[in-house]
């Protein structure tokens, strides 16, 4: 394989010693370079040995080709992948990072690629984030002298983000109010000249009165504030601070690196912090209230979204109380003692004999084997789950189990209950920056031990008062220590600049092809209907660009009687005309905006322009958005044909079947480079592709993938020829426009010392070794990470994982959402299998297989998935089973593993055969990488229900509706009867199959037609009939649809329907032309396991 031009001459392909586990060598994987945007690297893929064969299931010897689970042992040195175009000498950091399974260590998302920075160095700072006069370069995590003035004290306080929890109660949180001057960060060295006068800013949260009187011996009374004009007061305090307040600056008087990495706080590499001066007096009254959602942020979900009303946890009125015995020093250890393991998970299951192993209800995540006192605080598995709920003590034990270790996250999910802490104090470990959580230990009232790095930290004085119970001296009962999921209102120290307004830019393809599809009518009307529901505030800005072979801007200046169109025909050197009038305030210019949306669909109806300059249009959009950041929404209907980023067709329909030659890699790096530029300026790009022809989504998708955007694909969209797609676009666009959004976000995942994260999956850019840059974050995005056991977890009963998402809400509030999960550590192989989460394992393997398909070949990825099953079941057979049994035996916890992997092999992302269009395959791969696990599993293994005899037995009651709960059926035609009607829910599509002899009652009372022959061929809606059967069926289908962010079309099909083949293709357990049946697949697995 030729090396890309960016590689150093003579550079060897990187490897980690003998390549035992190629699956998931994905050199290309996410292609994240930790270098700052601007220096884009081309990675050098490792050479992959050619395969002997690549067919449907050519597994003879395939275990040596791409085994998923042969791990490199601990203690071997990791050679980092080379990253080109880094200004400075590459840094190689040898260390005992074992190559895990799924160690896609070639993926530059792996921790600390060669282009990243050693612990003592700092990453270069992007100029637009630099607020000090001179460039700063200090050790990461050094304490800042970023002053946040505390009214009522004679000093300034250092930010809690960098020095642990130091801000007293009631400290002002400075943020620019609308129209106020921009917030300046002041970095001061002790003894230097006084800082410039900073204009006082309106505090976001003025000091709150105490909740009742704190008991005697509580915090002292507040002192009187210094009199005088506010600006003078602030200057006095700032200047006073220079006299050497113990908490104002780092010990060496240095300033801190001004970057998101420093703001959120480093991982375990962060230096230890010197504790604050012991004699500091607390001069503020300590009183907090904990409303569930502060005023102006009551939009955990769009108005009217079912099941997502923001039912507030109103702490002040005592409606939610917390009961927890104090977690003493030995509480965790004592709680772990004498637990009886649920042996059901280990019961051997002979898969060839027990055919009915699919549960009749949706499979739930396994419950970690923790004492109930700990487990009751654990994170909801819908938000945060691990592939193994029993963590192996050593990498050797993990290698032996042949199972992947990783996490699956849904961090910004819409929640009906979310505790929000509005106090200014955020308590964090001084060493590893972990947020205080339910799994820390309190040694006494004054000290707590971090559950990730085990450092003992002081409990800040003001944290001793619990506003919920109004008791002083019970820090372990505060909400932060009672909730595994919590959100903090972040003070100004967590900002690099004042919160920007929400900015939404829409970019429309208006070429002849685009106008022909009629999409513009639907999109403009949906936008008109939802303008008032766009998340934001009085500062929200909006703009529009259209393009064909030229680029059209729209001036929406106040005072114009109608929008003014500005055409740029020079697409080789795009510039922005009148930049101040192209993005305008939504509220102040609403009439002009509405006029434009009403006229846009008609403006280009006579256009004969067939060319598409998507690349230049995106460059223009990026230039327009750079100053503020925000969201670009682009609609495209064909292959870009002129200007930068022009593409040529690479699909040959006759060769779709050959897994070797399909083009899964981008044909240009233009879109990736532009996406990284966007990420650096806090801009995300969402792509709506509405196309009947090949549009090279493999290349176009990069614009969203690396800028933390989303991809939507509507194959063969046409308002007349394919009307069901119109409803789908309407529904999904409404959700997209009105759902919650976070701006300027970063996410970091921390784990207990001894564990390490090495590969990330999802849509983002890895800014430093473990900091994910998310210019936008949305509630429908999922992420996955792979992990390894770097050091033995001896003497540890439990380990913890914590994700922290720092973002700006659409209301301009800086917030931090934290999820913490605690899992037990085990020492035996049987316990590792006992805690296996088969759905999470399947989800992680699917992510890894996408990377493998791109970096190697599709057949490699397929072989590797099969080998994952073979290896784990062979390890179980040889190491756990005491009595060798005939047949194919799996532990009960993994009984569905072969079925789920077979389902993955039959999914559009990985299936072979000519029926899958290339763009469709790529889109499914995008979904695998970006969807939360629950939706990914539904796409992979659909749910089948018999619905012609629904009853209220076991039904759910949701908002006064009765929702029937029919049992799940196996995905085989054996389960279908011509006398019945069956609903298949495949996530993004639903099929209602009506048998030829289906009861007359169902046909007339649910479908509203007299007999089977009268059912229309292209029926996609159930009529609203007032019969009990109709009400039950529609309630069930509506309830299924409500559970997800996308809109599944319902196709009602008969035996002779052309869509019957799509329905039967989802029958995972049956044989198809290009894939084995479930039973044949089990026989193949058995043959390999028994070798």
The secondary structure of 61-127, three-state, reads: CHHHHCCCCCCCCCCCCCCCCCCCCCCCCCCCCCCCCCCCCCCCCCCCCCCCCCCCCCCCCCCCCCH
Contacts of residue 331, defined as CB under 8 A and 6 or more positions apart, other chains included, come to 325, 373, 441
Q: What SS3 state is found at 765?
A: strand
- What is the C-alpha to C-alpha distance for residues 368 and 837, in angstroms, rounded to an integer? 10
Q: Which residues of 566-596 are buried (b: 16+ CB within 10 A; e: fewer)?
A: eebeebeebebeeeebbbbbbbebeebbebb
Using CA atoms, how far residue 234 sits from 176, 188, 228, 229, 245, in Å, is: 16, 14, 10, 9, 15
Helices (H), 152-193: 160-163
Query: pLDDT by residue (tens digit) across 650-674?
Result: 876 655 545 455 789 999 999 999 9
Q: What angle do CA 246, 250, 252 make, to 5 degrees?
A: 110
- What is the C-alpha to C-alpha distance for residues 666 and 29, in angstroms, rounded to an integer? 12
pLDDT score of 193 = 39
Among 1083, 983, 969, 977, which Cα is nearest to 1039's? 983
Using CA atoms, how far residue 763 sits from 39, 711, 746, in Å, is: 19, 10, 12
- What is the C-alpha to C-alpha distance for residues 161 and 265, in angstroms, rounded to an integer? 7
- What is the C-alpha to C-alpha distance for residues 288 and 303, in angstroms, rounded to an integer? 29
Question: Which 8-state DSSP code applies to residue 146?
Answer: B
pLDDT score of 653 = 62
Q: What SS3 state is found at 762?
A: coil
CB atoms within 10 A of CB 463: 24
pLDDT score of 260 = 72
E strands present in 692-762: 711-715, 742-751, 755-761
Q: Give the max Cα distance, the chain.
A: 91
- What is the C-alpha to C-alpha distance for residues 966 and 964, in angstroms, rounded to an integer? 6
Among 427, 517, 416, 480, which Cα is nearest to 164's? 427
Q: For the chain, report the end-to-end CA distance as a whole number of angstroms.
A: 33
pLDDT score of 214 = 38
Helices (H), 824-857: 829-834, 838-855
CA 1035 to chain centre: 30
- What is the C-alpha to C-alpha distance for residues 239 and 817, in angstroms, rounded to an integer? 34
Query: pLDDT by residue (tens digit) across 617-637?
Result: 999 999 999 999 999 999 999
Q: From edge to edge, which strands make up the β-sheet containing 981-985?
A: 968-969, 943-946, 981-985, 989-994, 1049-1053
pLDDT score of 655 = 56
What is the residue whose two structure tokens read 């029958």?
A: 1067
Residues of the chain predicted below pLDDT 50? 1-258, 268-341, 657, 659
pLDDT score of 959 = 85
- CB of 623 within 8 A of CB of 527? no
Neighbour-count burial of 837, counting CB atoms closer than 10 A to its CB (0-12 exposed, 13-18 middle, 19+ buried): buried
pLDDT score of 468 = 77
Helices (H), 1006-1059: 1028-1042
Neighbour-count burial of 458, counting CB atoms closer than 10 A to its CB (0-12 exposed, 13-18 middle, 19+ buried): middle
Q: What SS3 state is found at 213?
A: coil
**Does the model's pTM come out above 0.85?**
no
CB atoms within 10 A of CB 720: 9
- What is the C-alpha to C-alpha distance for residues 196 and 188, in angstroms, rounded to an integer? 10
Neighbour-count burial of 272, counting CB atoms closer than 10 A to its CB (0-12 exposed, 13-18 middle, 19+ buried): exposed
CA atoms within 13 A on the CB side of 832: 25
């Amino acid at each position: 394989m030729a090396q890309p031009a960016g590689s150093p001459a003579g550079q060897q392909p990187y490897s980690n010693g003998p390549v035992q586990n190629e699956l998931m060598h994905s050199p290309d994987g996410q292609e994240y370079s930790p270098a700052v945007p601007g220096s884009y690297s081309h990675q050098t893929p490792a050479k992959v040995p050619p395969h002997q064969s690549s067919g449907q299931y050519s597994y003879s010897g395939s275990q040596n080709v791409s085994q998923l689970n042969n791990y490199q042992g601990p203690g071997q040195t990791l050679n980092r992948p080379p990253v080109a175009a880094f200004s400075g000498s590459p840094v190689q950091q040898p260390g005992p990072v074992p190559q895990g399974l799924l160690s896609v260590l070639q993926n530059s998302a792996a921790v600390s690629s060669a282009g990243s920075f050693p612990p003592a160095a700092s990453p270069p700072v992007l100029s637009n984030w630099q607020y000090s006069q001179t460039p700063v370069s200090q050790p990461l995590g050094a304490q800042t002298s970023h002053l946040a003035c505390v009214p009522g004290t004679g000093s300034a306080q250092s930010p809690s983000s960098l020095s642990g929890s130091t801000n007293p109660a009631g400290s002002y949180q400075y943020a620019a109010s609308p129209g106020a001057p921009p917030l300046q960060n002041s970095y001061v060295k002790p003894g230097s000249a006084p800082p410039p006068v900073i204009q006082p800013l309106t505090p976001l949260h003025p000091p709150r009165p105490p909740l009742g009187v704190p008991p005697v011996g509580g915090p002292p009374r507040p002192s009187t504030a210094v009199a005088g004009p506010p600006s003078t007061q602030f200057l006095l305090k700032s200047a006073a601070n220079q006299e050497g307040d113990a908490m104002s600056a780092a010990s060496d008087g240095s300033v801190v690196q001004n970057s998101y990495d420093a703001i959120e706080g480093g991982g375990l590499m962060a230096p230890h912090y010197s504790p604050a001066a012991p004699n500091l007096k607390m001069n503020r009254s300590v009183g907090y209230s904990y409303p569930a959602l502060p005023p102006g942020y009551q939009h955990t979900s769009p108005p009217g979204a079912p099941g997502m009303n923001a039912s507030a946890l109103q702490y002040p009125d005592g409606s939610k109380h917390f009961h927890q015995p104090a977690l003493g020093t030995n509480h965790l250890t004592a709680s772990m003692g004498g637990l009886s393991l649920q042996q059901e998970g280990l019961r051997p299951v002979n898969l060839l004999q027990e055919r009915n192993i699919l549960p009749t209800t949706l499979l739930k995540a396994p419950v970690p084997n923790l004492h109930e006192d700990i487990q009751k605080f654990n994170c909801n598995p819908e938000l945060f789950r691990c592939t193994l709920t029993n963590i192996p003590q050593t990498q050797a034990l993990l290698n032996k189990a042949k199972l992947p270790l990783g996490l699956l996250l849904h961090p910004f999910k819409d929640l009906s209950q979310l505790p929000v802490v509005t106090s200014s104090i955020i308590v964090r470990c001084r060493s590893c920056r972990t947020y205080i959580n339910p799994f820390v230990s309190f040694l006494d009232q004054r000290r707590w031990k971090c559950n990730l790095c085990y450092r003992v930290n002081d409990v800040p004085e003001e944290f001793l008062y619990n506003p919920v119970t109004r008791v002083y001296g019970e820090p372990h009962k505060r909400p932060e220590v009672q909730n595994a999921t919590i959100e903090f209102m972040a003070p100004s120290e967590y900002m690099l600049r004042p919160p920007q307004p929400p900015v939404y830019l829409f970019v429309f393809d208006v070429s002849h092809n685009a106008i022909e599809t009629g999409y513009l009518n639907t999109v403009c009307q949906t936008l008109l209907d939802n303008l008032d529901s766009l998340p934001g505030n009085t500062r929200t800005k909006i703009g529009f660009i259209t393009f064909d072979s030229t680029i059209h801007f729209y001036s929406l200046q106040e005072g114009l009687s109608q929008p003014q169109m500005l055409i740029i025909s020079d697409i080789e050197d795009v510039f922005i005309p009148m930049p101040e009038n192209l993005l305008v305030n939504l509220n102040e210019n609403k009439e002009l905006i509405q006029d434009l949306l009403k006229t846009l669909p008609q403006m280009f109806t006579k256009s004969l322009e067939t060319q598409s300059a998507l690349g230049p249009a995106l460059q223009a959009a990026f230039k327009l958005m750079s100053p503020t950041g925000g969201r670009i929404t682009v609609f495209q209907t064909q292959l870009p044909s002129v200007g930068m980023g022009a593409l040529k067709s690479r699909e040959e329909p006759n060769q779709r079947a050959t897994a070797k030659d399909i083009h899964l890699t981008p044909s240009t790096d233009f879109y990736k480079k532009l996406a990284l530029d966007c990420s650096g300026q806090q801009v995300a790009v969402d792509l709506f592709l509405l196309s009947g022809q090949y549009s090279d989504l493999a290349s176009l998708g990069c614009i969203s993938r690396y800028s933390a955007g989303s991809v939507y694909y509507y194959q063969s969209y046409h308002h007349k020829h394919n009307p069901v797609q119109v409803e789908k676009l309407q529904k999904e666009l409404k959700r997209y426009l009105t759902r919650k959004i976070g701006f300027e976000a970063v996410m970091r995942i921390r784990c207990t010392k001894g564990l390490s994260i090495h590969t990330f999956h999802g849509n983002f850019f890895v800014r430093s070794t473990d900091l994910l840059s998310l210019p936008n974050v949305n509630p429908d995005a999922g992420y996955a990470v792979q992990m390894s056991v770097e050091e033995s977890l001896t003497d540890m009963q439990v380990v913890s994982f914590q994700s922290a998402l720092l973002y700006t809400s659409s209301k301009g509030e800086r917030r931090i959402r934290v999820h913490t999960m605690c899992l037990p550590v085990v020492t035996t192989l049987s316990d590792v299998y006992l805690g296996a989460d088969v759905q999470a394992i399947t989800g992680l393997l699917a992510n890894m297989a996408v990377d493998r398909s791109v970096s190697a070949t599709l057949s490699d990825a397929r072989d590797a998935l099969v080998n994952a099953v073979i290896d784990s079941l062979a390890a179980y057979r040889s190491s756990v089973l005491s009595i060798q049994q005939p047949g194919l035996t799996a532990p009960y916890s993994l009984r569905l593993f072969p079925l789920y992997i077979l389902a993955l092999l039959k999914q559009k992302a990985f299936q072979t055969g000519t029926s899958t269009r290339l763009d469709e395959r790529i889109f499914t791969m995008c979904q695998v990488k970006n969807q939360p696990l629950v939706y990914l599993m539904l796409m992979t293994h659909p749910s089948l229900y018999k619905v012609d005899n629904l009853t209220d037995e076991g039904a759910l009651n949701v908002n006064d509706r009765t929702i029937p709960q029919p049992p799940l059926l196996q995905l085989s035609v054996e389960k279908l009867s011509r006398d019945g009607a069956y609903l298949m829910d495949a996530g993004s599509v639903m099929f209602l199959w009506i048998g030829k002899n289906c009861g007359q009652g169902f046909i007339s009372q649910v479908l509203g037609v007299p007999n089977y022959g009268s059912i229309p061929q292209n029926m996609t809606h159930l009529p609203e009939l007032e019969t009990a059967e109709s009400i039950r069926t529609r309630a069930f289908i509506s309830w299924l649809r409500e559970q997800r962010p996308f809109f599944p079309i319902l196709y009602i099909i008969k035996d002779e329907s052309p869509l019957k083949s799509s329905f039967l293709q989802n029958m995972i357990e049956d044989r198809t032309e290009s894939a084995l049946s479930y039973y044949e697949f089990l026989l193949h697995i058995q043959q390999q396991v028994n070798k």
